[in-house]
Structure 1
Amino acid sequence: MWVEMIEMGVKPDVIAYSSFITGLCDCGKVDLAYAILQEINREGIQVEDMAYNTVMDGLCKEMRLQEAEMLLENKTRQGLTPDIYGYSYLIRSYGKAGNLLKVLDHYQAMVSHGFETNCHIASYLLQCFMKLGMTSQVTEHFQKLRDSGLHLDGVLYNIAMDAYCKDGNMDEAVKLLREMKAERLTPDRVHYTCVIKGYCLKGDVPNARQAFEVMLKANVKPDVVTYNILASGFCKNGLVTEVFDLLDHMADRGLEPNSLTYGIIIDGFCRSGNLSEAEVLFYIVEEKGIERIEVMYSSMVCGYLHSGWTDHAYILFLRVAKQGKFVDRFACSKLMNDLCRDGNAQGASTVCSMMLENNVIPDVISYTKLISAYCQTGDMHNALLWFHDMVQRGLSVDVIVYTVLMNGYCKVGQMEEACKLFDQMTSLGIKPDVIAYTMLLDGHLKEYLQRCWQGVSKERRIYVLRTKQNRLLSSMKKMEIEPDVPFYTVLIDGYCKAGDFEKARGEFDEVLQKGLTPDQHVYAALICGYCSQGEIEKAQDLFEEMVDRGIKPHVLAFSVLNQKTLRERQYK
């Protein structure tokens, strides 16, 4: 019709343009409406405010906020005064994005143009504060709005109540509930649920239950969310009977508990030490069947893990997987981490493989722990396989992953591979930390001892060790990485084993000069070194210095010094 009108030479007027642009937005053609509005702006054609507002609303809903702001500026250039609707759309959308600065900018601009705020715009502002966790600002602004005489609706009251509840200020939250009634505003399910949740967060179950009873007496029907919150509060306080009574109460009111309800209860039982009750409920519901049962499976797996029953969690995971179902990412990651902690690298590998088969990619932490578990067992083949898998999937490989893998190679005596990884890491622009340097330094020291057992001459061993130590020290200086106490411990131990006690003592003095506090391991390395060379008096002096500093003596240092002292006395 529009094209036909143009072809017949009928010139559209302001109302026609406005209606056409508004209609396009109503049909979801925001891009076309925006393009037409820009074109007629360039031609200097006036349109109604409604057309601008409709396009701005569409752009804001699609979060194209810069374009919406430009449109507001164009409207001003056309000689049209900005109205409250344009500001409202921008404040609402920037609030959703959590951009408080933009929210406040447009709020102030709105006020400066003489527009008074309304309850809707005020709620956008308070919701932005809540999104950013600024609960004190929420309550402060709410009080200002109330004092200004602004009409407050149920939404504003709920935001303020939620802020008080999150701050643990239940007295003020309940006062607002009473104030609503005094202002002839009827609290609904959301308001009562907010108060119940606040009491549960504080662990105040009696008052949470009382608020629930008040809700029922007010003929406000609770929903599944309300019951879930109350059930979680009961579980955390070990109120098993009350939880089952609550489930019966739901059934009596025609509400069917969902998978989230059962998941919350099972998780709550496990966290409160009622694992047997969690299992009973789990098997009852599993036999009965429920939609989205994976939520409940995930809760039971996490429940077992929380109780320290990693084997049970793993068995359940495998059984569920054979049924063609899968627990969520969080449960999988936690199971992987706990299996790695228990030394079951193969089990963690199985979980990881199943996650990938279900197009769920583990996070960097889970991969790192899996690689570390294989490194702990000396299985560098599988550790490297998972490392390559992690890289191929585009995950961000950091210094921690490299250090774990390098440490594994050091433990199995493959220093050449560890050094290659170190070079690879630095070539990728990943800056090593002091832990990585300490680990390589320790690896070179172990290599020195291994060559001793292989019959390599002491002079050759000392030369190689010093060369590698100096190279690492030079690299650290270049990277501007300061040695810490563990690094100095390994370095001093290395100098002692190489027989260079002057260097060892020099490094020890450097620890003190830098204001670092030497621990028992640093002292033990130097004391044992002195004892090995028969420098008993120096060792004893160092031991006394350690005790004077209030540092608990290392068992090894005490034992070595004691044996050397006894032998010296027997010799005399």
Structure 2
Amino acid sequence: MSGLRLRPRRSSSSTFPMPRSRLRHYASAMPMSSLRPLHRSSSSTTSPARAWSPHAAFAAATERVRAGALRPEDAHTLFDELLRQATPVPERSLNGFLAALARAPASGNCIRDGPALAVVLFNRVCREEAGPQVAALTGCTYSILMDCYCRARRPDLGLALFGRFLREGLKTHQIVANTFLKCLCYAKLTDEAVDVLLHRMSELGCVPDAISYNTVLKSLCDNGMSQRGLELLQMIAKEVGVCSLNLVAYNTVIYGFFKEGETGKACNLFHEMMQQGVEPDVVTYNLIIDALCKARAMDKAEVVLQQMISKGAQPDTVTYNCMINGYATSGRLKKSAKMFREMKSRGLMPDIVTCNSFLSSLCKHGRSKEAREIFDSMTAKGHKPDIVSYRILLHGYASEGCFADMIDLFNSMKSNGIAADCRVFTILIGAYAKHGMMDDAMLIFTEMQQQGLSPNVVTYSTVISALSRMGRLANAMEKFNQMISMGVQPNKAVYHTLIQGSCMHGDLIKAKELVSEMMNKGIPRPSITFFGSIINSLCKDGRVMDAHDIFDLVIDIGERPSAITFNSLVDGYCLVGKMDKAFGMLNAMESLV
């Protein structure tokens, strides 16, 4: 396949060596204890009343891991007993326990880092004299531990462990080889992973399978190389056969293209896979429908949905979420509501994502009252609204100026067990500030801080913008200085607000200072379009001299006026009857523009 190219090889430390004997370079000098916390010496335990069964003990511990009830001390006690009793534990029991640890979610006072704990216990077995007698370390064991290093975001240690595996002389099987590929991909050594997949698996005594292909394809697509993923997919289909690929491989590349904005290539691959007899599943159809909905190609999304149903792939909650959100975003609320009803008629219960999507569409179109009805029905049917639901409805009320409803909903949050966050308070502050009710806005700002929440840059920007519009520049600068003292760095929007306020209220010295300050911080200065809108606004209000002062400021900071800026001033001078000034601006425009 001519399209697939590996990059020129880097130094030997990062490329995959050709002879099998040199695979061992992955056994780096890095100690395997890199993830190992300090461990106490084995505790002495009282001999049990009856014979200790490692199979039963490990089976019980595995169940406790899955239930989230095993503590790290319990795991160490289990291994203390294993090493003390010197009774071999069955291979499947040991590997099952380590695999459960590798996948264990963090759970409060119990296991907080399952993969790291699995590595520590593995190292104990390797370190203790009785270890080899009580726990036979197989290829599966090494594979589980290599996976642990990937989950702990230390694939480099996984590669080192693979080198140790080779030194032990253990036979490489498919699971180990696939985990080795996973380590390479997690270490961002995708070229090396492709090389191993295509040329080196035989050296490991293995033949690539669907998992091997999917691992490398996912890495290519995750790293923005979906075109190479497609070339690899097509090469495998041609040389090995489509039967060696599964639907996951096609879905991976299709999703990669969508993520990179290559909608055409994704759709072409979708049609290609069907021509080759690979039937898409609900995941494939959802990928296509989601992309079409985001592109607002709702008619095409509808066609794919009907095709999906006709092919026997039943739409799920994700399918309808995409369609509902797509129609809502496109402003087609009746269609969105139709999909909502159709979803329920199919026995699918709308989840919180569906409901929030529908709430958002209603609120964006000024229909907050209807949104509140949906919100209340969610609660009645057992769907507890989350903080996103509250934000959407609060923002809807704020946009429509429904202050009583907004505050009533805000007060209900606490009784429903939802704590207001910074974004919620910012919505309330913005609602009052937009209507010039700054005393109310500042009361909420103060309450927010009293509740232990720190305003973010959006909160400060909202307050500063409102104060600037009202001509309260001293108060606006006070909040500006406060945000800096609190460690919140002003962004372009904050500076633009203050500069505009200073210009509109005649403080051009302050405006120039702010322009210099933002440029010193690496923030691009305001464009001529920004200043042009201020000049145009002042000219329409008859404040042509103030507008001309800003024009001079623009030239002073090194910005080049546009023809639109000159036209605004010409129109402004004509409006106030100063024709000589208007002709002067025309002459200046000819020389500068």
The corresponding residue for 1:264 is 322
Can you list the C-alpha shifts for 1:70-119, whole angstroms capped at 9, x where unaligned?
44444444356776455423321232344444444444554465556543
1:165 and 1:173 in contact (8 A); partners too: no
The corresponding residue for 2:299 is 238
Matches within 5 A, 1:317-356: 317-325=371-379
Distance 1:385 1:127 in 2: 54
Using the TM superposition, give the Cα deviation of residue 147 of structure 1 relative to its aligned residue in structure 2, in angstroms: 5.9
Distance 2:197 2:190 in 1: 11
- Matched AA of 1:120: I
1:485 and 1:517 in contact (8 A); partners too: no
CA 1:144–1:359 in 2, change beyond 3 Å: closer, same or farther? Answer: farther
The corresponding residue for 2:76 is 35
Distance 1:198 1:470 in 2: 47
2:566 and 2:586 in contact (8 A); partners too: yes
Distance 1:188 1:480 in 2: 52
- Matched AA of 1:320: I
CA 1:111–1:202 in 2, change beyond 3 Å: closer, same or farther? Answer: farther
From 397, 401, 407, the counterpart of 2:465: 407
1:199 and 1:205 in contact (8 A); partners too: no
Using the TM superposition, give the Cα deviation of residue 320 of structure 1 relative to its aligned residue in structure 2, in angstroms: 0.7
Which stretch of structure 1 is more off in the superposition, 369-378 or 293-302?
A: 293-302
TM-score (norm 1): 0.63
The corresponding residue for 1:374 is 432
| 3-state SS of 2:214 partner | helix
The corresponding residue for 2:34 is none
Using the TM superposition, give the Cα deviation of residue 258 of structure 1 relative to its aligned residue in structure 2, in angstroms: 3.6
From 127, 133, 145, the counterpart of 1:90: 145
The corresponding residue for 2:102 is 60
Which stretch of structure 1 is more off in the superposition, 258-267 or 538-547?
A: 538-547
Query: Between Structure 1 and Structure 2, which shows a larger proportion of helix residues?
Result: 1
The corresponding residue for 1:25 is 61
| 3-state SS of 1:397 partner | coil
The alignment yields a C-alpha RMSD, in angstroms, of 5.9
Distance 2:164 2:435 in 1: 64
Are residue 156 (structure 1) and residue 206 (structure 2) matched? no
- Matched AA of 1:238: D
The corresponding residue for 2:37 is none
CA 1:401–1:196 in 2, change beyond 3 Å: closer, same or farther? Answer: closer
Segments of structure 2 that go 5 or more residues without pairing to the other structure are 1-43, 65-69, 105-112
Can you list the C-alpha shifts for 1:498-555, whole angstroms capped at 9, x where unaligned?
x99xx9999767623xxx6667899899999999xxx9999988876665554xxxxx
Distance 2:256 2:464 in 1: 49
Q: Taking CA–CA contacts closer than 8 Å with sequence separation of 6 or more, which of the two structures ends up with the larger relative contact order?
A: 2
1:60 and 1:89 in contact (8 A); partners too: yes
Using the TM superposition, give the Cα deviation of residue 405 of structure 1 relative to its aligned residue in structure 2, in angstroms: 0.3
Distance 1:264 1:206 in 2: 21
- Matched AA of 2:557: V
**Higher radius of gyration, 1 or 2:** 1
CA 1:261–1:127 in 2, change beyond 3 Å: closer, same or farther? Answer: farther
1:192 and 1:212 in contact (8 A); partners too: no
Distance 1:546 1:375 in 2: 40
Percent sequence identity over aligned pairs: 19
Are residue 176 (structure 1) and residue 231 (structure 2) matched? no
Query: Would you say how many aligned residue pairs link Structure 1 and Structure 2?
Result: 504
Can you list the C-alpha shifts for 1:399-453, whole angstroms capped at 9, x where unaligned?
34213202212323444543443443344233445764664566566667xxxxx
Using the TM superposition, give the Cα deviation of residue 34 of structure 1 relative to its aligned residue in structure 2, in angstroms: 3.5
| 3-state SS of 2:483 partner | helix
CA 1:331–1:470 in 2, change beyond 3 Å: closer, same or farther? Answer: closer
Matches within 5 A, 1:98-177: 98-111=153-166, 118-124=173-179, 126=181, 139=194, 141-146=196-201, 148=203, 150-162=206-218, 167-168=226-227, 169-170=229-230, 172-177=232-237
The corresponding residue for 1:564 is none
Distance 2:187 2:350 in 1: 32
2:197 and 2:208 in contact (8 A); partners too: no
CA 1:412–1:98 in 2, change beyond 3 Å: closer, same or farther? Answer: same
Distance 2:303 2:568 in 1: 59
1:344 and 1:373 in contact (8 A); partners too: no
CA 1:3–1:191 in 2, change beyond 3 Å: closer, same or farther? Answer: same
